[in-house]
Amino acid sequence: MSDEKQDSAWFRHRDSGQVFEASGRFLPDARKNRELEETINPETAVKMELDKREIKYQPNTGYKKLQALLTEALEAEAAQKPD
């Protein structure tokens, strides 16, 4: 996932789960920090999950709406599973 020509990257803190973007002079330090793991943009992750479930959305849909669509899909899946 590392690309030396990248201007920025997304990271998740291993303990708290907080996701953030590091760029510029902070990027090399973030990559060296053992408490962080490089991840993908949260919006991209949600879009990938929606695509996997073949849920349609508009390209310019905001992150909160995308998250709501995914939450709705996950709740529907959970409701269909037998106890």
Residue at 3 is within a domain: no
How does residue 5 score in pLDDT terms, banded at 50, 70 and 90?
A: confident
Q: Has residue 1 been placed in a domain?
A: no
> Are 31 and 46 members of one domain?
no
Whether 13 is in a domain gets the answer: yes
Q: How far is CA 49 from each of CA 26, 67, 74, rounded to the nearest angstrom?
A: 29, 10, 10
H or E element, residue 37: strand 36-39
Helix (H, G, I), strand (E, B), or coil: what is residue 10?
strand
Domain count, the chain: 2
How sure is the predictor about 4, in pLDDT bands with cuts at 50, 70 and 90?
low
- Does residue 69 lie within any of the structural domains? yes
DSSP helix/strand/coil, 34? coil
pLDDT digits (tens, 9 = 90+) for 12-55: 999 999 999 999 999 999 999 999 999 999 999 999 999 999 99
52-70: pLDDT as tens digits: 999 999 988 899 999 999 9
- Show the domain range for 55: 42-80
